Structure 1
Amino acid sequence: MKDLFSPGNLITVAGGVLTVVGAVAYGTGNANLSLPTIFYGIPILLGGLALKSSELPPAKRVVPANTFKAQREAAAPELGKLLADVTRWRYGQKAHLESSLEALKLWDDDTPPQLLEIEELNGADGYGLRLRFELGAVSLERWTEKQERLGRFFAKGLHADLQDLGGDRIDLRLLQAAAPAAGQHGGQ
């Protein structure tokens, strides 16, 4: 149902309705109605079809939006921005997080990794996100090589955990980095 209300669909339907109304008005001799509806309807219809051709639907959200609202607001703001970015319609991109994956050198132009779903987590480590990717042409070894950098890339104080799901899929968990225990200092 959510797919029916994409901006591309809404604009295409609006343009189609205006074009049909204009054509019917022209056929019945109602020039006052046919002229504006055809002249506005056809460009709107073409614009909607152009949007549909470059549309990238939002990643599937596993947990309802209001479930972890308080934890999301208390967590690093970058996690909330990441969540908002991948759960909206995108246009003109091959995959969600395209520029981030390119910067991390986890990108392939022909078969890029695809974000399938995102889940908010709230456990002993605090608030975090789980992103499920289909690897595409990027190998699991490349993801593993970048694992340490993945957490720091998205927000300061995050730790990335990769889990191989087999079948060309992985889970990337972005969690709060464990704080040093009381009395412990780095290098001692």
Structure 2
Amino acid sequence: MKDFFSPGSLVTVAGGILTVVGAIAYSTGSANLSLPTIFYGIPILLGGLALKSSELPPAIRITSANLLRRQREAAAPELSTLIGDVTRWRYGQKAHLESSLEALKLWDDDNPPRLEEIEELDTKDGYGLRLRFQLGSVSLERWVERKVRLGRFFAKGLRAEIKDLGGDQLDLLLLPGQTNQVHE
């Protein structure tokens, strides 16, 4: 259902409706209605189709936006920005966090890692995030090699934990603290 309500879908539907109304008005001889609706409808329809072709849906948000609001507001502001970035529609990108993963050298142009879901965590150490990735062509070993940098990259004072889920998935945990551990 959320795919239908993407901005690309809404623009495409609006352009399609205007184009159809214009075509019907033209065929019935209503020049006052046909010219503006066709004139605006076709470019809007084409713009919507262009958006749909480059659309990246938001990552699934496991935790509701209101559940950990107080903890989120007390945490590093970069984490709140990260949540906002990956839970909205993106256009012209292959995957969420594309530039971040490129900077961390965890990117593959042909088969990049894909963020599937994000979950906010309230741990004994404080507020953190869990990001579930499909690995694509980037090996688990490359993620583990960059584990120390992953924690520092997203916000100061974070540590990264990598949990191997088997197959082609991993969980990246961004938690407060300084130590780094790997759970496999």
TM-score for both structures, normalised by structure 2: 0.96
The amino acid of 1:36's aligned partner reads P
The amino acid of 2:137's aligned partner reads A
Distance in 1, matches of 2:23 and 2:90, equals: 32
Distance in 2, matches of 1:178 and 1:159, equals: 6
The amino acid of 2:65's aligned partner reads A
Paired residues of 1:25 and 1:31 also in contact (CA < 8 A): yes
Distance in 2, matches of 1:164 and 1:39, equals: 54
Q: In the alignment, does 2:103 pair up with 1:103? A: yes
What secondary structure is seen at the aligned counterpart in 2 of 1:153? Answer: helix
The amino acid of 2:95's aligned partner reads A
The amino acid of 2:94's aligned partner reads K
Cα distance, 1:123 vs structure 2: 1.3
Distance in 2, matches of 1:5 and 1:68, equals: 26
Shift of the 178–145 alpha-carbon distance from structure 1 to 2, 3 Å rule, reads closer
Paired residues of 1:125 and 1:178 also in contact (CA < 8 A): no
Residues 1-188 of structure 1: pairs in structure 2 closer than 5 A: 1-178=1-178
**Larger of the two Rg values belongs to structure:** 1
What secondary structure is seen at the aligned counterpart in 2 of 1:21? Answer: helix
Distance in 2, matches of 1:135 and 1:110, equals: 12
Distance in 2, matches of 1:9 and 1:112, equals: 25
Distance in 2, matches of 1:116 and 1:46, equals: 29
Q: After the TM superposition, which parts of structure 1 deviate over 3 Å for at least 4 consecutive aligned residues?
A: none
Cα distance, 1:32 vs structure 2: 0.3
CA offsets per residue over residues 106-133 of structure 1, 9 Å max, x none? 0000000000000000010100000000
User: Which residue does 1:182 correspond to in 2?
Assistant: none
Aligned-residue sequence identity (percent) comes to: 77
Cα distance, 1:178 vs structure 2: 4.9
Identify unmatched segments of 5+ residues in structure 1.
180-188
Cα distance, 1:4 vs structure 2: 1.4
TM-score for both structures, normalised by structure 1: 0.94
State the aligned residue count.
179
